[in-house]
């Protein structure tokens, strides 16, 4: 089941139960999934990492990814300008970058 | 000297003239006090007063300049040689100070001595406090008096030296002798404060600024507004004088006093707290502010963390009930609340990072965060692959895949990917066609793209791709995980499967 489906199931269940409150369990489940996405280096062992820590690491990881994307964009644009790739390749990259 | 430099201003002639008139004014010792009070209070900025206290012969001129050249009538005292031997011009003004002081503060003949001995110290003038502290300690004044003779300081500075850093001067001599000395001096100061305060009451400005913490019971209401201004000047001397505790309390007290005022607490306590700022120097007990000063820490505690207000109150209540369980529960609630606040704060930060996140509830926001994180990772992977391999195939497939699997995420790219986003849009028609024909690439498939390698160049990107991609996809599915791991490391790679696909 996809993540979204899981969430929807949980939500519908909670609605049926009369409370539309998002359970803590649900949130912790999401947080653990988020934790799995994080690179290993950012977690001191996967056991009992507090949610706030996971969120914090996620934020910093996203920021670093942003920086990396900017960096790569720059390099790609330079590559495009200097390299002598085939027209097709250059066209592809150019379309990506512009 | 600082004063010297400051005196280099236009209008020096006037002061000199006034200075010459000094002796004349000198005789009217009693009169100038109120005018001084008003002008000093009105014009003297905290920062200047201490500087003025720096003994200097041309102090009168300097003081005038510092004070913005107040009227002679306003500050006739300026030219009063507090300490004798002010200047060449003031040779005959030496004896003034004692008499002047006596008129100013009856019963405190040591004032001139105390004033003379004071150095500017540079702290903002506690002109308010200073007035209060005139001859604060007879004992400390004695040794200073001896020093004073040697110094030509004071003169017209009397008021400033005397008023500016009384608190600061008090401690050093007190410390030299004994901390006990400071204690007795405090009561003296407090009484002096009150005495001078009463004297200054006539001047509206001064009274407003000083009455707040000098005479809380009387002017408590009037001083509500001006309360904030007075505390700052006394605050600097406070820490110097009594170290961190009082300073911390003062700093805490100020905002809390203000907040307390806003909350409409009882007037005396409010003013009392501000007065406690100075009372730290003077004497809390003496000023009858012990009770209010005790209140200040409570206010500060409750104010430091408004979130804890309920818990604090709950704690107190539970404590009063003396139920151990109640207290434990309260503590638990408090820690739980803190934890929640921390998490909420991190969630907000995360929400700001995610573009186009208009979700309010935590769960959906976390979902978006997860998807966005995946998108970002994919994007970074793809771009690094492009950079290393420099081929069109990978990016084409990647975009294809992304278009297929994450259409709602397209806005992510437009927002953050910048150039990438545009590229995505450009590819739409082809990608759509390709997507239609292409197989459902599983997510891990993307990293496998580099395996197509830069072996065979793709002459016509669009048409053949879907078929090849589909075929490759079928073949790749098996080796996806490995490919994903190798994606970043492969630069040129004739992957074993590539020839098969092409």
> Residues B366-384: pLDDT tens digits?
898 899 999 889 988 888 8
Task: Work out the pLDDT band at B122, boundaries 50, 70, 90.
Answer: very low
Task: Work out the pLDDT band at B131, boundaries 50, 70, 90.
Answer: very low
Interface test with A, best of B337, B341, B363 (most A CBs within 10 A): B363
Percent of chain B at pLDDT exceeding 70: 13
What is the distance between the alpha carbons of residues B209 and A2, in angstroms, rounded to a whole number? 69
B6 to chain A nearest CA, in Å? 52
State how far the alpha carbon of B211 is from the alpha carbons of A68, B132, B229, B442, in Å: 61, 11, 12, 78
pLDDT tops 50 at residue B491: no
CB contact under 8 A, B423 and A65: no
* Secondary structure class of B321 (helix, strand, coil): helix
- Given this model, what pLDDT does residue A40 score? 77
Q: Is residue B180 within 8 Å of residue B172, measured between CB atoms? A: no
Contacts 24+ apart (CB under 8 A), A21-24: A22/B361, A22/B362, A22/B363
Q: Which residues of A touch B374 (CB under 8 A)?
A: 37
- Given this model, what pLDDT does residue B331 score? 93
pLDDT tops 50 at residue B323: yes
CB contact under 8 A, A30 and B370: yes
To which residue do tokens 């009594």 refer?
Answer: B242
What is the distance between the alpha carbons of residues B501 and B297, in angstroms, rounded to a whole number? 77
Higher pLDDT, B1 or A98: A98
Taking CA–CA distances from A38, the nearest residue in chain B reads B373
Summarised one tens digit per residue, pLDDT across range B372-421 is: 999 889 988 888 877 776 554 555 555 555 565 555 554 454 444 444 44
Mark out the alpha helices in B1-45 (DSSP H runs): 2-6, 13-27, 33-43
- Given this model, what pLDDT does residue B256 score? 47
Q: Which residues of A touch B416 (CB under 8 A)?
A: 66, 69
pLDDT tops 70 at residue B158: no
Rounded to the nearest integer, the mean pLDDT of chain B is 52
Higher pLDDT, A40 or B308: A40
pLDDT tops 60 at residue B88: no
- Given this model, what pLDDT does residue B329 score? 92
Show the 3-state SS of B263-276. Answer: CCCCHHHHHHHHHH
Interface test with B, best of A95, A97, A98 (most B CBs within 10 A): A95
Taking each helix axis from N to C terminus, what angle separates B33-43 and B179-200, rounded to the nearest 10 degrees? 100
To which residue do tokens 């998108």 refer?
Answer: B375
CB contact under 8 A, A72 and B380: yes
Q: Which of A50-54, B40-44, B214-218 has the highest mean pLDDT?
A: A50-54
Burial class, A36, CB count within 10 angstroms (exposed 0-12 / middle 13-18 / buried 19+): exposed
Percent of chain B at pLDDT exceeding 90: 3
Q: Is residue B454 within 8 Å of residue B485, measured between CB atoms? A: no
Summarised one tens digit per residue, pLDDT across range A51-95 is: 888 888 889 999 999 998 888 888 888 877 776 667 777 777 776
B478: tokens are 């098996």
B357: tokens are 């996140």
- Given this model, what pLDDT does residue A29 score? 86
CB contact under 8 A, B367 and A89: no
- Given this model, what pLDDT does residue B330 score? 93
Question: Residue B170: which residues within 8 A CB-CB, separation 6 or more?
Answer: B133, B136, B137, B140, B182, B185, B189, B241, B281
Q: Is residue B466 within 8 Å of residue B440, measured between CB atoms? A: no
What is the distance between the alpha carbons of residues A68 and B142, in angstroms, rounded to a whole number? 72
Percent of chain A at pLDDT exceeding 70: 67
Q: What is residue B413's DSSP assignment?
A: I
- Given this model, what pLDDT does residue B404 score? 56
Interface test with B, best of A96, A97, A98 (most B CBs within 10 A): A96
What is the distance between the alpha carbons of residues B500 and B312, in angstroms, rounded to a whole number? 72
CB contact under 8 A, B376 and A69: yes
Q: Which residues of A touch B377 (CB under 8 A)?
A: 37, 65
For B310-322, what is the mean pLDDT?
A: 56
Q: Is residue B171 within 8 Å of residue B129, measured between CB atoms? A: no
What is the distance between the alpha carbons of residues A71 and A73, in angstroms, rounded to a whole number? 5
Task: Work out the pLDDT band at B451, boundaries 50, 70, 90.
Answer: very low
Question: Residue B85: which residues within 8 A CB-CB, separation 6 or more?
Answer: B91, B94, B152, B155
- Given this model, what pLDDT does residue B100 score? 53
Task: Work out the pLDDT band at B76, boundaries 50, 70, 90.
Answer: low
Q: Is residue B162 within 8 Å of residue B117, measured between CB atoms? A: no
B119: tokens are 């150095």
Q: Which residues of A touch B350 (CB under 8 A)?
A: 55, 58-59, 62
CB contact under 8 A, A55 and B346: yes
B303 to chain A nearest CA, in Å? 25
- Given this model, what pLDDT does residue B289 score? 46
Among B301, B215, B300, CA closest to B250:
B300
Interchain CB contacts (distance < 8 Å): A and B? 130
Give Cα B61 distance to the centre of its chain. 36
What is the distance between the alpha carbons of residues A66 and A71, in angstroms, rounded to a whole number? 9
Neighbours of B325 (CB within 10 A): 9
Q: Is A48 left (phi over 0), alpha (psi -120 to 50) or beta?
A: left
For B195-215, what is the mean pLDDT?
A: 49
CB contact under 8 A, A22 and B383: no
Q: Is residue B362 within 8 Å of residue A23, measured between CB atoms? A: no
Neighbours of B290 (CB within 10 A): 15
Comparing CB atoms, the residue among A52, A73, A89 nearest residue B390 is: A89
A97: tokens are 């970058």
Task: Work out the pLDDT band at A12, boundaries 50, 70, 90.
Answer: low
Lowest mean pLDDT among B106-120, B343-357, B448-462: B448-462
To which residue do tokens 């434990």 refer?
Answer: B328
Comparing CB atoms, the residue among B350, B380, B419 nearest residue A65 is: B380
- Given this model, what pLDDT does residue B337 score? 94
B302 to chain A nearest CA, in Å? 25
pLDDT tops 90 at residue A50: no
CB contact under 8 A, B376 and A66: yes
- Given this model, what pLDDT does residue B311 score? 56
CB contact under 8 A, A83 and B339: no
What is the distance between the alpha carbons of residues B462 and B468, in angstroms, rounded to a whole number? 10
B397: tokens are 């497939």
Q: Which of A26-30, B152-156, B386-390 has the highest mean pLDDT?
A: A26-30
Task: Work out the pLDDT band at B277, boundaries 50, 70, 90.
Answer: very low
B97: tokens are 């100070």
Q: Is A65 on the interface with B (CB under 8 A)?
A: yes
What is the distance between the alpha carbons of residues A52 and B278, in angstroms, rounded to a whole number? 43
- Dihedral, CA atoms, B198, B204, B209, B212, nearest 10 degrees? 60
Among B284, B230, B296, B216, CA closest to B257:
B296
Beta strands in B114-267 (DSSP E): none
What is the distance between the alpha carbons of residues A65 and B383, in angstroms, rounded to a whole number? 12
Higher pLDDT, B213 or B363: B363
Q: Is B336 on the interface with A (CB under 8 A)?
A: no
- Given this model, what pLDDT does residue B391 score? 53
Q: What is the ipTM of this complex?
A: 0.76
For B113-124, what is the mean pLDDT?
A: 45
- Dihedral, CA atoms, B36, B38, B43, B49, nearest 10 degrees? 50
Q: Is A67 on the interface with B (CB under 8 A)?
A: no
B268: tokens are 């005396």
CB contact under 8 A, B392 and A22: no
- Given this model, what pLDDT does residue B316 score? 59
Q: Which of B142-146, B375-379, B483-487 has the highest mean pLDDT?
A: B375-379
Q: Is B378 on the interface with A (CB under 8 A)?
A: no
pLDDT tops 80 at residue B338: yes
pLDDT tops 50 at residue A97: yes
């Amino acid at each position: 089941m996809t993540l979204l489906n899981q969430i929807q199931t949980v939500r519908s269940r909670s609605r049926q139960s009369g409370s539309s409150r998002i359970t803590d369990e649900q949130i912790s489940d999401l947080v653990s999934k988020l934790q799995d996405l994080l690179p290993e280096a950012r977690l001191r062992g996967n056991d009992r990492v507090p949610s706030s820590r996971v969120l914090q690491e996620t934020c910093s990881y996203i920021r670093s990814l942003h920086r990396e994307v900017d960096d790569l964009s720059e390099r790609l644009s330079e590559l495009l300008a200097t390299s002598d790739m085939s027209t097709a390749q250059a066209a592809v990259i150019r379309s990506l970058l512009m | 000297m600082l004063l010297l430099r400051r005196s280099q201003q236009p209008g020096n002639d006037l002061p000199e003239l006034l200075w010459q008139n000094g002796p004349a004014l000198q005789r009217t010792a009693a009169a100038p006090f109120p005018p001084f009070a008003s002008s000093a209070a009105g014009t003297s900025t905290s920062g200047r007063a201490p500087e003025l206290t720096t003994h200097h012969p041309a102090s009168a001129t300097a003081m005038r300049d510092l004070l913005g050249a107040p009227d002679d009538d306003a500050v006739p005292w300026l030219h009063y040689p507090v300490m004798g031997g002010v200047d060449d011009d003031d040779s005959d003004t030496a004896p003034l100070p004692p008499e002047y002081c006596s008129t100013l503060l009856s019963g405190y003949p040591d004032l001139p001595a105390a004033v003379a001995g004071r150095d500017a110290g540079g702290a903002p003038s506690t002109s308010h406090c200073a007035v209060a502290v005139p001859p604060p300690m007879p004992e400390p004044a004695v040794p200073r008096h001896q020093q004073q003779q040697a110094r030509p300081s004071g003169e017209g500075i009397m008021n400033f030296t005397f008023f500016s850093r009384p608190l600061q001067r008090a401690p050093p001599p007190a410390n030299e002798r004994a901390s006990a000395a400071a204690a007795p001096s405090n009561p003296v100061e407090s009484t002096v404060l009150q005495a001078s305060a009463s004297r200054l009451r006539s001047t509206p400005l001064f009274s407003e600024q000083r009455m707040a913490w000098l005479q809380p019971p009387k002017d408590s209401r009037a001083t509500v507004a001006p309360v904030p201004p007075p505390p700052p000047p006394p605050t600097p001397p406070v820490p110097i004088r009594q170290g961190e505790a009082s300073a911390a309390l003062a700093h805490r007290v100020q905002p809390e006093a203000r907040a307390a005022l806003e909350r409409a607490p009882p007037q005396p306590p409010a003013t009392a707290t501000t007065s406690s700022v100075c009372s730290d120097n003077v004497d809390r007990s003496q000023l009858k502010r012990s009770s209010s000063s005790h209140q200040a820490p409570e206010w500060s505690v409750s104010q430091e963390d408004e979130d804890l207000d309920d818990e604090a109150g709950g704690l107190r209540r539970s404590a009063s009930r003396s139920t151990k369980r109640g207290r434990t529960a309260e503590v638990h609630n408090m820690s739980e609340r803190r934890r929640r606040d921390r998490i909420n704060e991190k969630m907000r930060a995360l929400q700001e990072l995610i573009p186009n996140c208009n979700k309010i509830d935590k769960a959906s926001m976390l979902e978006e965060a997860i998807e966005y994180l995946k998108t970002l990772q994919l994007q970074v992977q793809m771009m690094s692959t492009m950079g290393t391999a420099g081929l069109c195939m990978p990016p084409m497939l990647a975009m294809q895949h992304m278009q297929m699997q994450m259409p709602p995420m397209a806005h992510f790219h437009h927002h953050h990917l910048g150039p990438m986003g545009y590229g995505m849009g450009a590819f739409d028609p082809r990608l759509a066609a390709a997507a239609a024909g292409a197989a459902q690439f599983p997510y891990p498939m993307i990293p496998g793209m580099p395996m197509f390698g830069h072996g065979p160049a793709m002459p016509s990107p669009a048409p053949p791709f879907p078929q090849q991609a589909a075929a490759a996809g079928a073949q790749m599915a098996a080796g996806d995980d490995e490919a994903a791991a190798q994606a970043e490391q492969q630069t040129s790679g004739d992957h074993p499967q590539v020839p098969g696909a092409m």
